Structures are given as C-alpha cells and as structure tokens.
Structure 1
Amino acid sequence: MDLKLSQCFISVDDHDKALAFYRDVLGLEVRGDVGFEGMRWVTVGSPLQPDVEIVLEPPAADPDASPADRLAMAQLLAKGMLRGVIFSTTDCDELFERVRASGADVVQEPEDQPYGLRDCAFRDPAGNLLRFTQKRPAG
C-alpha cells in the first residue's frame, strides 16, 4: 500500500495576512482559493513538493460549529495554542534572516540541536508556531 501525506491544515484568522506571509515571505505557491458558506480556504505549497498542500483555513472551519466553539477556537488561535508545521530548508540561517526581515515574530533564533538539526522558529501572522529545520552534516 502506498501512503503519502497530501494535505495539512493551519488555522488563520486573516487570509490576506496569511497569504502575504506564506506566499510572499516563504515563497510558497498558491494552488487554490475557495470560498464556501462565508468561509475561505487557501491552499499553498512548495514548488519542490507538488503533491503536498497546506490548507489555510478559518478556525472552526465547520459550518455546523456553534458560536461558542467558534469563539473558543478563535481564542486558542490568538494565544498561539493551535498546531503549526515544521518545514525543512537547506539554509536555516538565510531563511531566518529573510523571515525576520519581514517582521515575523521570532520564537527561536537558529540553533544547533543535539539530534542533528539546526533550527529556528517563528509565529505566523495568526500566531501558529512554525519551525524551520536544516540537517547538519554527520559528525
């Protein structure tokens, strides 16, 4: 059986700000922009991974979510408590400088980790934690 990741989801509270970050700062390509029942989903992905997509969706993106559930999700998003993603890069330091220059919220500057990676972390405009990792040479 073949099994591969095809999509993951990140909640955002402002799709235009999210697009400015994911498209313009990170360089991901926009693959879709769909509205339905007053909500919007924007799909982005790396040109290097045409079969993997990140869907930027509203918090509580279920048309049947109660107002209380929508409020709870919006509050969790505002606190940065929802999950983000981990990207890999070939140059963590160069990527860090580019993302920092955009004004993104720095969580961790580039740092060598004992498990063989160099990584850094930011929050996207909605508060989601994004990590960027680079494999270090063995030894």
Structure 2
Amino acid sequence: MSANRVPARLEHVGIVVEDLGVAKAFFTELGLELQGEMTVEGRVVDLITGLAGVRSDVAMMRTPDGHGCLELIRYQTPVGPAGDSAAPANTPGLRHILFEVADLDDVVERLRKHGAELVGEVAQYEDNYRLCYLRGPAGIIVELAEKVG
C-alpha cells in the first residue's frame, strides 16, 4: 500500500427493513446493543441516496466488542420496491452477515422466537466451526459460527 493511501475501515453495514421494531429485537437477541435512533430527512439525505423526499427511521446497533455496527433503516418515504425476502444465498448482492457465537444451538433457538428460520442445516466445517444460515427480518441471511475443538 502506498504511503498516500489510507486503509479503509468498515464503519457499518446498512440494512433496509420493513419493521424496525422486529429487526431491533432480533439483533438485540443476537447480542447487539442499540446505540441510538433517529429520523433522517432533507436535501443532504436525498442527495446521498439519489432519492427525492426521503424520510427514514434509523437504529444503530453495535456489536458487544464495539468494532461492528449495523444501521437498520426503515424508509417512511419514498416507498421502495418490494424485495425478495426469500432470495436464495447465491443471489447476486449482499447475501449474508456472519456472527461468531459461543453456543450456536442456544442462539438458533433464541432467534427462532423472533421469527428466524434455518436456511439449510447446522453443519460442521472440518474441525474448526459449526455453521448455519438463518433467515431473519426482511429476509436477511445471518450466518452463525461456533468455534469447536
């Protein structure tokens, strides 16, 4: 890397949801902490998003280690097109986010109470991890990884 280039730092991942309350409850159950909520609108928001008349509710959820953050967004206006909440894992675009957990089975059961469903099955990868994909709010695929061995 050249001396003139500053390495990028991932600040957050934005996820558009239909029900902000359901999404907050789901990610709180996963261990994220609500850092703040706000409603955003105005010319700058319109310019950034390339949309006109934006008004959206935002909840910032931080991981317990303080290094990761999700921006959960519910657009009040303009109404967006319907997404495919059942899009398979191989659909182009951002498909999943991964969280390492201490007890995968416990987390799966707790998230099921918030509407999560397994996409496939829980499987072990070599002698390293137990893994699974869960579909959560707005069809978000969350991968869970439990270190084994």
Structure 1 unpaired stretches of 5+: none
Identity, in percent, stands at 28
Stretches of 4+ moved more than 4 A in 1? Answer: none
Alpha-carbon separation, structure 2, partners of 1:19 and 1:45 = 11
Q: CA deviation at 1:27?
A: 2.7
5-14 vs 103-112, which moves further: 103-112
**Match for residue 106 of structure 1 among 104, 118, 121:** 118
Structure 2 unpaired stretches of 5+: 1-5, 42-54
**Match for residue 67 of structure 2 among 26, 30, 51:** 51
Alpha-carbon separation, structure 1, partners of 2:114 and 2:58 = 23
The number of aligned residues is 126
2:14 equivalent to 1:9: yes
CA contact (8 A) 1:10 1:84 kept: no
CA contact (8 A) 1:91 1:134 kept: yes
State which structure, 1 or 2, has the greater radius of gyration over its C-alpha atoms.
2
Aligned residue identity for 2:39: G
Could you say if the C-alpha distance between residues 32 and 131 of structure 1 is closer, same or farther in structure 2, counting changes exceeding 3 Å?
same
RMSD across aligned positions (CA) = 2.7
**Match for residue 36 of structure 1 among 37, 40, 57:** 40
CA contact (8 A) 1:96 1:109 kept: no
TM-score (norm 2): 0.69
Q: Which is richer in helix?
A: 1
CA contact (8 A) 2:115 2:136 kept: no
Q: Which residue of 1 aligns with 2:48?
A: none
